[in-house]
Chains A and B, each alone.
Chain A
Amino acid sequence: MKTAHPSLQRYLGMLEDTASRPWTVDSTGLEAMRAAARAHLLQQGFPDRKQEVWRYTPVDRLLALNFVAAAPHDQAVAAPQALPELDSYRLVFVNGFFDAAASHLQALPAGVTVHGLAALARSQPQVLDGALRDFPAPTVNAFTAMHTLLSSDGIYIHVADGVHVDKPIEIIHHAVAGDQAVTSVPRIMVSLAAGARLTWIERFGHSGRSFYFQNVVAQIDLAAGASLDHYRLLEEGNEAFHLSSIQLRQQGNSSYRGLSMHLGGSWLRSDIQVDLDGEGARNQLAGFSFVDHGQLSDIHTQVRHNAPGCTSSENFRSLLLGAGRMVFDGLVRVAPDAQRSEAVMRNDNMLLSENAEVDSKPQLQIFADDVKCSHGATVGQLDADQVFYLRSRGIDIGMAKKLLCQGFIASVVDDCELQPVRAHALRAIDSALDRAMSSMAN
């Protein structure tokens, strides 16, 4: 056993009061999960920079902070602003707890099942156990283990065979931080049966203090021929920490398209693990990070081609200001039997300051011989000839740079088919660029 990190004791200490937690019911699945997670934490401790996937992530900065596990919020919280012109089924979480009253559960169409996990544990524990069996809690690292130990709410979404959900399901993760900084630990489980179709939006934001820690685990199962479009908008508080672990399994001919936008937060990390388990599965991961001074945006992807004839593509771009830092760590693994695999991976980064830093590590591990795989990464600055071209047409230098930055991320944002989400992202990027250009001008 490693020397216990002081934070480890503190976090394990948090578990002592689990008796008062809503999800502590007689769920054998849950108990087994927690025992495994506890063992993992005690054995492995927290990661440090000697571990490759944490090499560029300052875990100490997070562990030094004194977060406490969030409790269910007892006051009604003003519902966060909806995205303009987005017609969706909204599900609201406050500090990681599902707020059924603020959510639109009644309107859900036939074939779509949505359960808050804490409520489910009380009303139908056998259903919860079934869901947990379907989604064995993956202990990927200390933070997912911590998540398993602390998590006492979440959501289970199931779309039945062949059902095409008419409107997007939008989950709003709202952090309401008081004097004591809290860590929110929602567990998200999404399961699409054969041929089902869903558009799913997740938005992360806050009101009140901007200092908190979102630790999210999302597990996604796509049965044969299912199709999921998944939009993630991370607009966390300036001092907030955010860690998302997404575990996706895809059966034959299923399709997943994910777009992650890291738009704000002190420390944003998305770990995305994909298993392409069925022939002909298609996976597309795209993302954009706007990294302001002093912020860290951290993207880790592992796409495992376990079956033949699957395609995957990754396109992640970032714009960095001040002493912002971007980490891209992408791995595509093609198993020996996964012939006819196609994979492309790109990561392009634009530094708008001399102090910004990018660590980009695209990797391919190919064990099959009939594959088409490529990867590439760039780190660059604004092109002087392009800036000159725009200025020579009368466009002032700040606007010229802004147009070029917008152009740089267009290949990610323009792929966003959901107009209200695209418009929202463009507005957010636009105002961030305005701030950036005015600070660069000074």
Chain B
Amino acid sequence: MLKIHDLHATVDGTPILKGLNLEIGAGEIHAIMGPNGAGKSTLANVLSGRDGYSVTGGQINFLGRDLLPLSVEERAHLGLFLAMQYPVELPGVNNMVFLKEALSRVMQARGQAPLDAVAFMKLVGETAKKVNLDPALLKRSVNAGFSGGEKKRNEIFQMALLQPRLAILDETDSGLDIDALRIVSDGVNKLRDPGRSMIIVTHYQRLLDYIEPDFVHVLAGGRIVRSGDKSLARELESKGYAWLAGEVAA
């Protein structure tokens, strides 16, 4: 589904990713862990096509297409979704108008006919229920005045609505208390599907107790320095990232 080969990227001229390789198959969940400043969020943003992240080398292939020339919205149309670490507030932007626009654009790209108002409302209601989102939040402006947990839940809700092929969860656990973490994780687990892959970017092993990954990668110094199964996450938790320092330097 996703093949990243020898990816190099800079932010403000500073090299952050330095030859990153990663392959993700359909239906797989990959966790990407690593110390602060390793390039985890840079990877997430580069995949989504955000301005300010310059790819200086390497290739990214998504569903058989070269991802790099595509705009942010074209990537979303292909089925890429980024659940953000810090979802912005959009004061005054009506949630329903936003969701309807996003869904119809994504469905159009999939060759599906747009939903009528009744079907749309029904889908929104069912999806909110599925990921345990208070429907009252959807009557407000997007993320405006939401608590940290509500914002993260709203990200998962949007993901459930848009049904992406590849979801990238960027530090979704940051700022969540244990109850919110469980609710968000339940939502994510309900979206596991043989046709849907996920990249879970996280600092801590804690989230992986709730969302069980197929693979765990350690990103340090701009490269994947170690890959393994979920037991690698536990190893990291007990030993810290320092024991991989030698591999970072190498």
Binary contact readout A384-402 vs B (1 if CB under 8 angstroms, 0 otherwise): 1110111111111101000
| B72 adjacent to A391 (CB under 8 Å) | yes
A403 at the binding interface (Cβ < 8 Å)? yes
Number of A-B contacts (CB under 8 A): 78
B92 at the binding interface (Cβ < 8 Å)? yes
B82 at the binding interface (Cβ < 8 Å)? yes
| B88 adjacent to A394 (CB under 8 Å) | no
Q: In whole angstroms, how far apart are the Cα atoms of A165 and B106 in the complex?
A: 49
A354 at the binding interface (Cβ < 8 Å)? no
Q: In the complex, what residue of chain A is closest to B78 when comparing beta carbons?
A: A394
| A404 adjacent to B90 (CB under 8 Å) | yes
Stretch at the interface among A5-13, A176-184, A408-416: A408-416
Q: In the complex, what residue of chain A is closest to B89 when comparing beta carbons?
A: A386
A252 to chain B, nearest CB (A): 35
A136 at the binding interface (Cβ < 8 Å)? no
B77 at the binding interface (Cβ < 8 Å)? yes
A407 at the binding interface (Cβ < 8 Å)? yes
B232 to chain A, nearest CB (A): 29
Binary contact readout A37-67 vs B (1 if CB under 8 angstroms, 0 otherwise): 0000000000000000000000000000000
Of B50, B98, B106, B109, the residue contacting A390 (CB under 8 A) is B98
Of B75, B87, B101, B162, the residue contacting A389 (CB under 8 A) is B87
B164 to chain A, nearest CB (A): 10
| A409 adjacent to B92 (CB under 8 Å) | yes
Of B51, B94, B158, the residue contacting A393 (CB under 8 A) is B158
| A394 adjacent to B76 (CB under 8 Å) | yes
A6 to chain B, nearest CB (A): 47
B172 at the binding interface (Cβ < 8 Å)? no
A383 at the binding interface (Cβ < 8 Å)? yes
| B105 adjacent to A386 (CB under 8 Å) | no
Q: In whole angstroms, how far apart are the Cα atoms of A411 and B141 in the complex?
A: 11
Contact residues in A for B2 (Cβ distance below 8 Å)? none
Of A385, A396, A403, the residue contacting B88 (CB under 8 A) is A385
A244 at the binding interface (Cβ < 8 Å)? no
Q: In the complex, what residue of chain B is closest to A411 when comparing beta carbons?
A: B92
A152 to chain B, nearest CB (A): 44
| B93 adjacent to A406 (CB under 8 Å) | yes
Q: In whole angstroms, how far apart are the Cα atoms of A425 and B118 in the complex?
A: 26
B15 to chain A, nearest CB (A): 22
Q: In the complex, what residue of chain B is closest to A402 when comparing beta carbons?
A: B101
State the interface size on chain B (CB cutoff 8 A): 29
Q: In the complex, what residue of chain B is closest to A410 when comparing beta carbons?
A: B92
Q: In whole angstroms, how far apart are the Cα atoms of A409 and B94 in the complex?
A: 12
Q: In whole angstroms, how far apart are the Cα atoms of A410 and B93 in the complex?
A: 8
Q: In whole angstroms, how far apart are the Cα atoms of A411 and B48 in the complex?
A: 31
| A391 adjacent to B76 (CB under 8 Å) | yes
Contact residues in A for B141 (Cβ distance below 8 Å)? 407, 410
Q: In whole angstroms, how far apart are the Cα atoms of A411 and B92 in the complex?
A: 7
Contact residues in B for A407 (Cβ distance below 8 Å)? 90-94, 141
B38 to chain A, nearest CB (A): 22
Of B72, B92, B94, the residue contacting A392 (CB under 8 A) is B72
B74 to chain A, nearest CB (A): 9
| A393 adjacent to B92 (CB under 8 Å) | no
Contact residues in A for B75 (Cβ distance below 8 Å)? 392
| B93 adjacent to A397 (CB under 8 Å) | no
B5 to chain A, nearest CB (A): 23
Known: A399-B101, A407-B141. A389 touches B90 (CB 8 A): yes
Q: In whole angstroms, how far apart are the Cα atoms of A392 and B158 in the complex?
A: 11
Q: In whole angstroms, how far apart are the Cα atoms of A265 and B170 in the complex?
A: 47
Q: In whole angstroms, how far apart are the Cα atoms of A386 and B91 in the complex?
A: 10
* Segment 58-100 of B: residues with Cβ below 8 Å from A: 71-73, 75-77, 81-82, 84, 87-88, 90-94, 97-98
B102 at the binding interface (Cβ < 8 Å)? yes
Contact residues in A for B98 (Cβ distance below 8 Å)? 390, 393, 395, 403
Binary contact readout A177-203 vs B (1 if CB under 8 angstroms, 0 otherwise): 000000000000000000000000000
| B73 adjacent to A389 (CB under 8 Å) | no
Q: In whole angstroms, how far apart are the Cα atoms of A393 and B101 in the complex?
A: 9
A440 to chain B, nearest CB (A): 16
Q: In whole angstroms, how far apart are the Cα atoms of A118 and B50 in the complex?
A: 64
Q: In whole angstroms, how far apart are the Cα atoms of A387 and B64 in the complex?
A: 28
Q: In the complex, what residue of chain A is closest to B102 when comparing beta carbons?
A: A393
B42 to chain A, nearest CB (A): 15
Can you list 5 residue pairs at the A/B interface with Cβ under 8 Å?
Answer: A389-B90, A390-B90, A394-B105, A403-B98, A407-B93
Known: A389-B88, A390-B98. 9 other contacts (CB 8 A): A386-B88, A388-B50, A390-B102, A391-B76, A392-B84, A394-B109, A406-B92, A411-B91, A414-B92
